[in-house]
């Protein structure tokens, strides 16, 4: 019995990086696979070998079983770790590994097949005497009018997860249409359009139990996690332990999770998921037979390296610890940072990452990320940017540390949910632990109010000061200590500068030539300021003895992109932008498209087109669906018009700002 000498990681991003790190600690060489757009990713640099999958879409790369097995054989890899997503729950992949005498780091194919079919998994749990939520399998073409189930119901994909294809339906009248949409989405993401409907439990809390099993019949739990903070039925905040549970209820969940694991001779890491209603009743929901995105919070409170344990168990070793040796200490919380716009139905953002500043090192802060500046998030992968995990002696101290760290997390480029996460952590009901899976939906307007707010009058002068320094001075922080020893400012033909901040125009008059305390006038107020360079992408701006660190990025078009307080700002100087033909052209074409035609708001793939040429449409009519980063985006008409021409079709790949539909009055 020995560990494999070489491991192929059949995944990408932060989970690939995580697996490679644990493998290296065990002395295992690693092989990374990648698409051409990610050849400089961090996980690629850490791996011992790197093999390209090409430039095609997922079906030909990370979902191509034959190609991945071929690479494993060619590189002499004795094992494959699938991570999460992609092929991690595919029984055919596990069978292919076994056929080629390659260790599959996960459970047996028959377990994947059983747990991958959610209705069958629920039936198995019910046979073990474990409560399950009432549900019905939807057979193709079945009559939906006779469903004997209480509304509202959740439509779910039988062979999927992550909220994809899931839809909450409140009455029978809308069920048929939503079933069609969910089935199409399930087929797109999971290769199988089979669905089932499940009775919806109002104000439920989502609790999951981490289990580990070996090939000797040993199955243990590593305690539980709570994952009730979700948007679009997908988890965004996870914490461990779930302190709302009574000890009696906790013991029931833990013992039932182990019972399920033992009943199927489970090997490796897996998660058994439950819903708990307001009365304290619990129901088995599903089992994920793989490592979870949120495994880090369990590692933080137990000190157990789950990935290392996976690799050992898959190699034939028994579990390295007993149930009695699993000790929980402290509380851990994880937030998922996504490239998305919470104020716009969480639409994913495919803008490139221009700059990122991570929180300073802290022994109780853990960051799981694989990011490089100017990296393009693309449209094939999940929009997850990073995970930020904080550990404290209790829940309140973990929240406090996480809130302090998130303030130091500044991302410039893609729209993101960092400020949204900050608002969740600051919410009184979250602080009091009075939450459920409906929290984000119920308090959505509160959580995004920062997006609707007017420019903070205290923030505006800081942005103007930075714009003056970066756009009208020839600054070079490394060479000159005093940023006012430059010629640009003094050679201006006019002391009035037009500055646009977030598309709002300001006329700024430079009022002082005192280099020790420069100043400007805007909105009738004179502001004195000082600027100091903190780093290559951060300036310290001081106004009235109050200093703010502002992270910025200068684009090739002369635009200044800023992150301040986890809110992004865009500064343009119209007089300067005229010297950039490509910028003027883009702006002009964008204005035409936005006023007359339908342009793509993001990179993606056309899934559905609802209209035809010459059709009359009204404001709010659905036009088409674009899939991007595992999310469906429904594009609606912004005006009454006639469809002059449709410039795309189902299956077509589209880019940001590409014209899709031409309209006429």
Nearest to 271 by CA among 119, 89, 91, 12: 89
Residue bearing tokens 């005093």: 482
CATH architecture entry for 338-453: 2-Layer Sandwich (3.30)
Alpha helix ranges (H) inside 88-235:
91-99, 109-116, 118-127, 175-190
Tokens of 475: 């600054």
Say if residues 500 and 587 touch (Cβ distance below 8 Å).
no
Report how far residue 626's alpha carbon sits from residue 343's, in angstroms, rounded to the nearest whole number: 18
Q: Is the pLDDT of residue 286 over 90?
A: yes
Q: Is the pLDDT of residue 448 over 90?
A: yes
> What pLDDT is attached to residue 654?
84
Tell me phi and psi for residue 141, to 5 degrees: 75, 10
How many CA atoms lie less than 13 Å away from 118 in the CB half-sphere? 27
β-bridge partners, 626:
606, 633
Question: What is the DSSP secondary structure assignment for residue 315, as one 8-state letter?
Answer: T
Instruction: Please enumerate in sequence order all residues whose Cβ is within 8 A of that of 579, keeping only pairs 6 or more positions apart, or say none.
Output: 558
Say if residues 456 and 604 touch (Cβ distance below 8 Å).
no
Question: What is the DSSP secondary structure assignment for residue 343, as one 8-state letter?
Answer: G
Say if residues 519 and 528 touch (Cβ distance below 8 Å).
yes
> What pLDDT is attached to residue 195?
85
Average pLDDT of every residue of the chain: 88
Tokens of 306: 């789950």
Lowest mean per-residue pLDDT among 55-59, 139-143, 157-161, 279-283:
139-143
Q: What is the mean pLDDT of residues 604-626?
A: 88
CB atoms under 10 Å from CB of 146, counted, come to 7
Lowest mean per-residue pLDDT among 103-107, 493-497, 545-549:
493-497
Chain centre to alpha carbon of residue 510: 43
Domain 134-199 annotated CATH 3.30.1330.40 = no
> What pLDDT is attached to residue 597?
86
> What pLDDT is attached to residue 141?
64
> What pLDDT is attached to residue 3?
97
Cis amide leading into 541 (omega within 30) = no
Q: Is the pLDDT of residue 495 over 70?
A: yes
Alpha helix ranges (H) inside 476-580:
574-577
Tokens of 218: 């040993």
Q: What is the CATH number of domain 6-105?
A: 3.40.50.20
Q: What is the mean pLDDT of residues 378-400?
A: 91
Terminal-residue alpha carbon distance, the chain: 74
Report how far residue 176's alpha carbon sits from residue 169's, in angstroms, rounded to the nearest whole number: 10
> What pLDDT is attached to residue 586?
34
Q: Mind giving me the DSSP string for 293-309? A: TTHHHHHHHH---HHHH
Helix (H) or strand (E) holding 404: helix 395-406
Active site residue 570: no
What superfamily in CATH does domain 203-329 come from? ATP-grasp fold, B domain (3.30.470.20)
Helix (H), strand (E) counts: the chain: 19, 38
Tokens of 587: 């702006």
Q: Is the pLDDT of residue 490 over 50?
A: no
Q: What is the mean pLDDT of residues 33-38?
A: 89
Q: What is the mean pLDDT of residues 372-376?
A: 57
**Burial zone of 447 (CB within 10 Å; 0-12 exposed, 13-18 middle, 19+ buried):** buried
> What pLDDT is attached to residue 326?
98
CB atoms under 10 Å from CB of 502, counted, come to 13
174 versus 578: the higher-pLDDT residue is 174
Confidence of residue 474 (pLDDT cuts 50, 70, 90): very low
Q: What is the mean pLDDT of residues 454-463?
A: 89
Cis amide leading into 152 (omega within 30) = yes
Fold of the 588-664 domain: OB fold (Dihydrolipoamide Acetyltransferase, E2P) (2.40.50)
290, 336, 391, 561: the catalytic one is 290
> What pLDDT is attached to residue 309?
98
Q: Is the pLDDT of residue 493 over 90?
A: no
Q: How do the domains of the chain map onto residue ranges?
A: 6-105, 134-199, 203-329, 338-453, 460-577, 588-664
Lowest mean per-residue pLDDT among 88-92, 194-198, 529-533:
194-198
> What pLDDT is attached to residue 237?
98
The two domains 203-329 and 588-664 share their CATH topology (first three levels equal): no
Report how far residue 399's alpha carbon sits from residue 415's, in angstroms, rounded to the nearest whole number: 24
> What pLDDT is attached to residue 487?
43
Residue bearing tokens 């500046």: 373
Tokens of 2: 């020995």
Residue bearing tokens 């997908």: 234
Q: What is the mean pLDDT of residues 43-59?
A: 91
The CA-atom distances, in angstroms, between 426 and each of 228, 271, 389, 420, 421 are 16, 29, 16, 10, 9
Confidence of residue 477 (pLDDT cuts 50, 70, 90): very low
Fold of the 460-577 domain: Glycoprotein, Type 4 Pilin (3.30.700)
User: Strand, helix or coil at 162?
Assistant: coil
Report how far residue 329's alpha carbon sits from residue 340's, in angstroms, rounded to the nearest whole number: 34
> What pLDDT is attached to residue 595?
52
> What pLDDT is attached to residue 86?
93
Q: Is the pLDDT of residue 491 over 80?
A: no
């Amino acid at each position: 019995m020995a560990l494999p000498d070489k491991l192929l990681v059949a995944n990408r991003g932060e989970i690939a990086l995580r697996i490679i790190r644990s493998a290296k600690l065990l002395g295992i060489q690693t092989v990374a696979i990648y698409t051409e757009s990610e050849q400089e990713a961090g996980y690629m640099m850490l791996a011992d070998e790197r093999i390209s999958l090409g430039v095609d879409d997922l079906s030909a790369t990370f979902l191509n079983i034959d190609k991945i097995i071929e690479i494993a054989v060619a590189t002499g890899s004795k094992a494959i770790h699938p991570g999460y997503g992609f092929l991690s729950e595919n029984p055919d992949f596990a069978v292919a590994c076994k056929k080629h005498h390659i260790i599959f780091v996960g459970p047996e194919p028959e377990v994947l097949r059983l747990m991958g079919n959610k209705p069958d998994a629920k039936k198995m749990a019910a046979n073990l005497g474990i409560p399950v939520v009432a549900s019905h399998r939807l057979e193709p073409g079945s009559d939906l009018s006779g469903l004997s189930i209480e509304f509202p119901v959740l439509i779910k994909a039988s062979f999927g997860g992550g909220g994809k294809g899931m839809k909450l339906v409140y009455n029978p009248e809308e069920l048929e249409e939503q079933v069609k949409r969910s089935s199409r989405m399930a087929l797109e993401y999971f290769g199988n359009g089979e669905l089932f409907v499940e009775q919806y439990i109002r104000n439920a809390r989502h609790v999951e139990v981490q289990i580990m099993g070996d090939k000797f019949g040993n199955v243990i739990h590593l305690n539980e996690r709570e994952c009730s903070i979700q948007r679009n039925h997908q988890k965004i905040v996870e914490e461990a332990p779930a302190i709302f549970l009574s000890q009696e209820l906790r013991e029931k969940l833990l013992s039932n999770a182990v019972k399920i694991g033992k009943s199927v001779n489970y090997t490796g890491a897996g998660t058994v998921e439950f819903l708990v209603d307001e009365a304290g009743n619990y129901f088995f929901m599903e089992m994920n037979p793989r490592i979870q995105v949120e495994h880090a919070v369990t590692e933080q409170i137990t000190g157990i390296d789950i990935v290392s344990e996976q690799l050992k168990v898959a190699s034939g070793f028994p579990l390295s610890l007993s149930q009695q040796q699993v000790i929980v200490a402290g509380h851990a919380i994880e937030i998922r940072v996504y490239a998305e716009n919470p104020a716009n139905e969480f639409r994913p953002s495919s803008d490139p990452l221009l700059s990122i500043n991570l929180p300073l090192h802290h022994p109780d802060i853990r960051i799981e990320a694989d990011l490089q500046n100017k990296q393009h998030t693309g449209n094939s992968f999940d929009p997850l940017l990073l995970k930020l995990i904080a550990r404290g002696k209790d829940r309140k101290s973990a929240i406090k540390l996480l809130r302090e760290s998130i303030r130091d997390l500044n991302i410039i480029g893609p729209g993101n949910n960092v400020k949204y996460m900050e608002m969740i952590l600051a919410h009184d009901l979250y602080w009091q632990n009075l939450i459920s899976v409906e929290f984000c939906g119920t308090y959505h307007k509160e959580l995004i109010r920062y997006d609707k707010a007017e420019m903070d009058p205290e923030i505006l002068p800081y942005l103007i000061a930075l714009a003056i320094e970066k756009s009208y001075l020839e600054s070079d922080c490394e060479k000159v200590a005093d940023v006012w020893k430059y010629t640009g400012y003094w050679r201006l033909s006019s002391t009035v500068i037009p500055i646009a901040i977030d598309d709002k125009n300001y006329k700024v008059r430079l009022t002082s030539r005192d280099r020790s305390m420069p100043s400007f006038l805007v909105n009738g107020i004179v502001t004195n300021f000082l600027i100091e360079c903190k780093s290559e992408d951060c300036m310290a701006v001081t106004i009235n003895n109050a200093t703010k660190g502002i992270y910025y990025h200068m684009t090739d078009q002369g635009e200044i992109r800023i992150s301040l307080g986890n809110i992004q700002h865009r500064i343009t100087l119209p007089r300067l932008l005229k010297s950039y033909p490509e910028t003027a052209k883009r702006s002009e074409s964008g204005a035409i498209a936005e006023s007359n035609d339908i342009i793509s708001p993001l990179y993606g793939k056309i899934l559905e087109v609802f209209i035809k040429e010459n059709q009359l449409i009204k404001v709010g009519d659905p036009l088409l669906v674009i899939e991007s980063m595992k999310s469906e985006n429904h594009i609606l008409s912004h005006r009454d018009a006639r469809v002059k021409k449709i410039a795309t079709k189902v299956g077509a790949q589209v880019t940001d700002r590409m014209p899709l539909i031409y309209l006429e009055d």
